[in-house]
Structure 1
Amino acid sequence: MDMIGPGTGQSDPGTWLLDRIDAREQALTCQIEQTQAEIDTLTARLSELSEAIEHLRISRKTLIFLAEEDLAPVKPTVPPATVPDHPAYQQILAVFGEAGGSLRARDLAMAMDLPLTQNDIQNVRAKLKRLASRGILIETEPGLFTQPRP
């Protein structure tokens, strides 16, 4: 067994010291790599935990917001139905007010003292359809119109 080191008769003590430094450097490099791997693992875990806590905070804010909201269902606001400005529409609604029931375009044209030509009846029907599209009248069946009940 040949011991190499200072005082063992080796002729170059500098080589022995350099070998020892190299061995120590390799051991420290290995420890650094292991520590860096542990740091990477812990950093990933820290990121996962931070994301999880952020999700909980968002959930808490959402639940508090919903709890503070008025729980009554919100009904959509429907703008009031507007009657077109033309006097014929006012006259149509006046006839419906007096009739108190359902009317067809032909009946309405008679009540308004209009000529019973196909063109005049079609014009009345178009006005009735427009009033129905605005919710002012209801078409209960094809061609039969009435006022909605409150």
Structure 2
Amino acid sequence: MGGNATADPGGLVRLEEREREIAEQAEETRQQITRLTAVLDDFGRAAGEVRITRKTLLELPDPGQSAPSVLVLKLPDGAAYQEIMVGFAQADRPLRARGVCEAMDLDPAPNNINNIRLKLKRLAGRNILAEPEPDPFALPRL
């Protein structure tokens, strides 16, 4: 009555082949998800940069008063500085180094906080951010 697995060895081979095909398709799909996640992250960073640019342009004084390119030229190289500025543009309030870490989805570990604090000090030294007192940083008033 019941079937014996050895009675249909061809059926088992086909099942094993199908299982391998499914595993390969699953791995290929995982790789596609990884690639698409990276592309999505890039879009998010680009959108943040556009928000910063738009906000900066809206806050600039009349063209006859000063050159707007001064602010753009002072920003140090590096994606972290762009992400920091996105955090300030979205927060619209003074932030401490820990708050910037959290806005950037960084673990607020002492190393990360200290690295961000150094970057914030560099931005404050270039008058891109204001530091009215130690550690809260803010976008300067134009």
For normalisation by structure 2, the TM-score amounts to 0.49
Higher helix proportion, which one?
2
Query: Larger radius of gyration, structure 1 or 2?
Result: 1
**Greater RCO between the two (CA within 8 Å, min separation 6)?**
2
Higher share in strand: 1
